[in-house]
Amino acid sequence: MGHGPSTDWGEDKAIAYKTTLGLWLFLIYVLVYVGFIWINVASPKTMATIVFAGQNLAVVYGFGLIVLAFVMGIIYDIFCTNKEDELNKEDSDK
């Protein structure tokens, strides 16, 4: 039942760039997440502090983590697409 790939994608010339960017974004996210965990462990009462629109820090920080992941995904997509377009244009100019 193997039908094979539906399209020929060819070589990914931007793999090194995409890997590096992905690892940097992952590192940034991990550091922000570790901050969330660290506050919970070191000072749980701080997370109960009301900070925005009647919501405590835990809720705001948690939603912030979700939004950050979404924004980083968009950033990753934009930067990688631009790099792929740049490298494919250079290849077609040859």
Total structural domains in the chain? 1
Give the DSSP letter of residue 6: S
Let me know if residue 8 belongs to a domain. no
Cα–Cα distance for residue pair 89/58, rounded to 1 Å: 46
Cα–Cα distance for residue pair 74/69, rounded to 1 Å: 9
Q: What is the pTM of this model?
A: 0.81
Question: pLDDT per residue over 43-77, tens digit each?
Answer: 999 999 999 899 999 999 999 999 999 999 999 99
The region of weakest confidence among 8-12, 25-29, 54-58 is 8-12
What is the span of the domain harbouring residue 53? 15-86
Let me know if residue 10 belongs to a domain. no
Let me know if residue 93 belongs to a domain. no
Let me know if residue 74 belongs to a domain. yes
Cα–Cα distance for residue pair 65/62, rounded to 1 Å: 5
- From the number of C-beta atoms within 10 Å of its C-beta (0-12, 13-18, 19+), residue 57 rates as buried
